[in-house]
Amino acid sequence: MTGMTNPAQAKAAKEATDWIIRLHEAPEDRELKAEFDVWCAQDPLHLDAWNATRRTADLMAGIAPLGADQAKDGKADWQRFLDARRASEDDLADVRTAAGEDAIAARAEETAKVIAAQSRFKKRGNTSWRGIGLGGIAIAASLVAAIIGPRIATEMQADHFTKTAEITTVTLADNSTVTLAPESAIKVRMDGTTRFVELLSGEAFFEVTPDPQKPFTVGADAVTVTVLGTGFDVSDTAGRSSVAVEHGLVRVENAPTVPPVSELLEAGQQARVSRDGQVRRSTAPASQIAAWRHNQLIAQDQPLGEIVDRLRRYYTGTIVITDAELSRQTVTGVYRLDDPISALRGMARAQKATVREITPWLLVVSPS
């Protein structure tokens, strides 16, 4: 698929933000530094993402925090911070009228200045509020690099999209419906001969109106899903596309790989296809397909890091896992998506891990 936002770039940006926080919390940890060096060397995208995050941090470091005369609105620092963030998200419509990377860069820089001006932290009771040092910079860098930039780039080309914790259903021209999970975006092409939807980011459930003369096709990264009439879920995360069928029949293909992927899926069957053509099939009760539509997150022996990636779409701040081994531990359970903090704490307890709420928009998960 083509588009301004590469899922691998968005993933690298999030990982770079995780690294800046982990390295700040353990600056003398040689093993952690060695692991970071390996990450940088794995992919040129990693180093690019790290450099971009550091540039954002440098920008924020040069901006003074709010003065006392600017704090008379009666709001807590974090409340003003979130107000600024919401204002920037509500203003996306204006950004969408501009074109190209210049508009994205300008909005990112402007947002960085607002965030830096709002980011003062204090000690209140037993809650740790960091100074405007690297910890505060990392939070702001996370919002700009991992949310504002990639999200604006995706939404500028999308026909329909959702924000954090938002679920919406769209009726297409052929009366098919698409239910978008939070932080998801699609681009639609409907004409006399074509019914095509590109999943630009996130996850969506499709209820397709049958038309034997005009197959319905969904594209997600390098994977193509073709149906005549069915209900199925498609997600695109970290270089892997997943398809799960609630009812009907679909064909999942990944033509660029050698040999090409071609999988036929029936009700209750799922397939996860990576960019290199590796396929992992599984089954699940039809009632569990796209359980997020009912505010449920169902994990079945899946890595904690992968499950937290899904949970992040429902939390308005940033979630960081500080330990790579912890991130790889598997999780099984059913969690409520309408209370992401409680869900995260439940996952952490099962792994004997701890969740710290550093600020109202930063949760850090680490081994106990």
How crowded is the C-beta side of 64, counted as CA atoms within 13 Å?
4
Secondary structure class of 243 (helix, strand, coil): strand
Nearest Cα residue to 10 out of 204, 182, 238, 199: 238
CATH topology of domain 161-286: Jelly Rolls (2.60.120)
Higher pLDDT, 69 or 288: 288
Listed by start position, the domains of the chain span 7-157, 161-286, 295-367
pLDDT of residue 305: 92
pLDDT of residue 339: 94
| Percent of the chain with pLDDT strictly greater than 90 | 38
pLDDT of residue 117: 42
pLDDT tens by residue, 246-282: 999 999 998 777 788 889 999 999 998 887 888 899 9
pLDDT of residue 325: 92
Handedness of CA 201, 207, 212, 213 (dihedral sign): negative
Tell me the angle at which helices 7-25 and 134-141 cross, rounded to the nearest 10 degrees: 170
Indicate the pLDDT class of residue 7, thresholds 50, 70 and 90: low
pLDDT of residue 150: 62
**Average pLDDT rounded to a whole number, residues 218-239:** 86
CATH of 295-367, one of 3.30.1380.10, 3.40.50.12780, 3.55.50.30, 2.60.40.10: 3.55.50.30
Return the minimum-mean-pLDDT range out of 139-143, 158-162, 290-294, 308-312. Answer: 139-143
pTM for the whole structure:
0.66
111, 142, 194, 197, 324 from 189: Cα distances, Å: 33, 33, 7, 6, 41
DSSP state, residue 181: P
Q: Cα 71 vs. chain centroid, distance in angstroms?
A: 33
Higher pLDDT, 48 or 253: 253
pLDDT tens by residue, 283-334: 989 889 999 999 999 998 999 999 999 999 999 888 888 888 999 999 999 9
Secondary structure class of 317 (helix, strand, coil): coil
**Average pLDDT rounded to a whole number, residues 2-29:** 70
Task: Quote the Cα angle for 50-51-57, to 5°.
Answer: 90
Nearest Cα residue to 143 out of 337, 365, 361, 364: 361
pLDDT of residue 295: 94
Indicate the pLDDT class of residue 119, thresholds 50, 70 and 90: very low
Instruction: Tell how strand 177-180 and strand 216-220 pair up.
Output: unpaired
**Average pLDDT rounded to a whole number, residues 323-349:** 94
14: enclosing H helix or E strand = helix 7-25
Q: What is the largest CA-CA distance in the chain?
A: 67
* Average pLDDT of every residue of the chain: 76
**Average pLDDT rounded to a whole number, residues 86-115:** 44
Task: Quote the Cα angle for 218-222-225, to 5°.
Answer: 30
DSSP state, residue 63: S
Tell me the angle at which helices 7-25 and 30-42 cross, rounded to the nearest 10 degrees: 170
Instruction: Tell how strand 216-220 and strand 195-207 pair up.
Output: parallel
Radius of gyration of the chain measured on its C-alpha atoms: 21
Q: Where are the alpha helices (DSSP H) in 26-148?
A: 30-42, 44-61, 77-90, 92-96, 100-118, 134-141
Omega prior to 367 cis, within 30 of 0:
no
